[in-house]
Amino acid sequence: MPRKKIKIGKMVIAEEIYTEEEKEEVELANKWARSRVREALDKYAGEPIDKVPEKYRKQIEELRKLGQFGKKKSERIKTRMKDAVGRQVANNDTTREELGISKEINNNKKLDER
């Protein structure tokens, strides 16, 4: 899938310095995000191909062969939350390391305070 944001390491590159190829990739990602085929793919995620409208059936069948099955709204929300929690945990670990506090010491302090 094309990328919506171009990154170097963890830093997002400013759009003004995208190469032509990167601009096309971001534009393609934005078109895909707004496309009716993607909406149909998500709407009929987990459904047999027979229930997909004839208009989108061939495209969705091809996408499923390529491994794109679509996600229901609840699955997309779970994925976003899981990613956000993962980033927060990683950030907490980094902060602890910077402060020189280990996880075990932090947990013991909480236990001692009770």
Alpha helices in 20-102 (DSSP H): 20-34, 36-43, 54-65, 73-99
Nearest 5°: the CA angle 24, 25, 27 is 65
Give the C-alpha separation, 64 to 39, whole Å: 14
- The model's pTM is 0.51
**Domain extents in the chain:** 71-114
pLDDT (tens digit, 9 = 90+) per residue, 97-112?
777 776 555 555 544 4
Tens-digit pLDDT profile for residues 26-72: 889 889 888 999 888 888 888 888 998 999 999 988 888 887 777 77
